[in-house]
């Protein structure tokens, strides 16, 4: 996990050999937790919904449709047991329970774990890479939604370790899922061209790809995206084969637009006072923490939307079956 000095560098100067660690994950999700329910609602997903061209749908409906689509495709109804790797605020686990299934979630954010515990969802504060198969048990289905993006750091990408990490992930999944059962993976990926991390600097021109990506690496500390869908399919190959996949770029664009509206809603009459209180609590951090300021800027500048619209990032939703 993180070193005491919070850096990715060990005392001997070597790069820490880890994906986004707990401290980095918490640098985003723990402050988002303050606004989560007020902005998006109880048990809301922080990932792309399932619109499929129907923009008349509410965001809540699009998220519910995603849950139904995934749980039905995984055949995880009454009595099934699912594992959610990167379970956030428990949206999918809650949907599984409403379907008569039970679930275990893993998160690296203490705030998310506490939230889920309060709501009586079975969530462990645990890095999947530390997880022991025997400890987790056996599952009828696995989901990992919007978490794969965090599994490889820039340093690991530069050291050529990305594929090895993804293979380890699929090995864990293979060890805990019943044969013939399915895994659902939803993740952002780079589009045609993988940016060069060393060219992505905060000093680049404001709306350049390099500046936007640099800010996003502050928004998602310790994280670097998969090269593309084929890389993921290849890493899964020894134990899983792809049964279907749907591109999610348009759905993510729609989801982001709905989120921006929800964020504006935080400043409406009914929510303004609690929002201002939370912003005041965060003000000291804003004053001293440059990376936190970049996170806020990234939201204000709508960086993620720009990445999808400009073809810097793409988005994939994949069902795999255990051989």
Ligand X SMILES: C[S@@+](CC[C@H](N)C(=O)[O-])C[C@H]1O[C@@H](n2cnc3c(N)ncnc32)[C@H](O)[C@@H]1O
112 binds ligand X (CB under 6 A): yes
Name the segment binding ligand X (CB under 6 A); options: 86-94, 200-208, 280-288, 292-300: 86-94
64 binds ligand X (CB under 6 A): no
Least Å from the CB of residue 179 to ligand X: 24
Q: Are strands 313-322 and 240-247 parallel, antiparallel or unpaired?
A: antiparallel
Least Å from the CB of residue 109 to ligand X: 4
- CA pair distance 152, 137, nearest whole angstrom: 25
How far does the chain reach from its first CA to its final CA, in angstroms? 32
Instruction: Output 29 or 190, the one with its CB closest to ligand X.
Output: 29
Instruction: Output 150 or 322, the one with its CB closest to ligand X.
Output: 150
List strands edge to edge, sheet with 139-145: 123-125, 102-107, 81-85, 139-145, 177-190, 313-322, 240-247
Q: Is residue 106 a contact partner of residue 124, using CB atoms and an 8 Å limit?
A: yes
**Which residues within the stretch 5-24 sit at the binding site for ligand X (CB under 6 A)?**
19-20
Least Å from the CB of residue 287 to ligand X: 26
Which pairs count as long-range contacts for 97-105, CB under 8 Å and 24+ apart, including other chains? 97/121, 99/71, 101/71, 101/76, 101/77, 101/140, 104/136, 104/137, 104/139
**Which residues within the stretch 32-51 sit at the binding site for ligand X (CB under 6 A)?**
45-47
Q: Are strands 313-322 and 177-190 parallel, antiparallel or unpaired?
A: antiparallel
Instruction: Output 126 or 212, the one with its CB closest to ligand X.
Output: 126
Name the segment binding ligand X (CB under 6 A); options: 84-92, 171-179, 267-275, 312-320: 84-92
User: Which sign, positive or negative, has the C-alpha torsion 245, 178, 82, 88?
Assistant: negative
Query: Minimal CB distance to ligand X: which residue?
Result: 88
**Which residues within the stretch 113-172 sit at the binding site for ligand X (CB under 6 A)?**
127-129, 145-147, 150
107 binds ligand X (CB under 6 A): yes
List residues near ligand X by CB under 6 A.
19-20, 25, 29, 45-47, 85-88, 91, 106-109, 112, 127-129, 145-147, 150
């Amino acid at each position: 996990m993180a070193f005491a000095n919070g850096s990715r560098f060990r005392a001997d100067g070597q790069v820490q050999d880890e994906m986004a660690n707990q401290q980095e994950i918490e640098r985003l999700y723990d402050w988002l937790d303050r606004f989560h329910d007020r902005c998006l609602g109880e048990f809301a997903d922080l990932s792309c919904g399932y619109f499929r061209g129907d923009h008349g749908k509410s965001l809540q409906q699009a998220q519910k449709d995603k849950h139904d689509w995934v749980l039905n495709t995984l055949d995880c109804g009454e009595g099934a047991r699912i594992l959610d790797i990167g379970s956030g605020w428990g949206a999918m686990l809650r949907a599984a329970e409403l379907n008569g299934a039970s679930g275990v979630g893993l998160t690296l954010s203490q705030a998310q774990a506490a939230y889920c515990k309060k709501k009586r969802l079975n969530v462990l504060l645990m890095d999947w890479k530390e997880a022991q198969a025997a400890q987790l048990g056996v599952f009828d289905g696995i989901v990992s939604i919007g978490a794969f993006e965090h599994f490889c750091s820039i340093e690991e990408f530069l050291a050529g370790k990305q594929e090895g990490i993804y293979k380890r992930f699929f090995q864990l999944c293979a060890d805990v899922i019943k044969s013939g059962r399915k895994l659902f993976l939803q993740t952002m990926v780079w589009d045609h061209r993988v940016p060069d991390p060393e060219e992505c600097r905060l000093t680049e021109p404001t709306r350049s790809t390099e500046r936007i990506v640099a800010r996003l690496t502050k928004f998602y500390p310790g994280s670097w995206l998969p090269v593309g869908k084929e890389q993921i399919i290849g890493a899964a190959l020894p134990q899983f084969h792809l049964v279907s996949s749907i591109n999610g770029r348009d759905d993510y664009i729609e989801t982001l637009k709905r989120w921006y509206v929800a964020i504006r809603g935080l400043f409406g009459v009914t929510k303004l006072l609690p929002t201002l209180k939370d912003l005041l609590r965060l003000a000291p951090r804003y004053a001293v923490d440059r990376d936190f300021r970049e996170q806020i800027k990234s939201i204000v500048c709508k960086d993620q939307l720009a990445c999808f619209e400009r073809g810097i990032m793409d988005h994939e939703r994949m069902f795999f079956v255990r051989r």
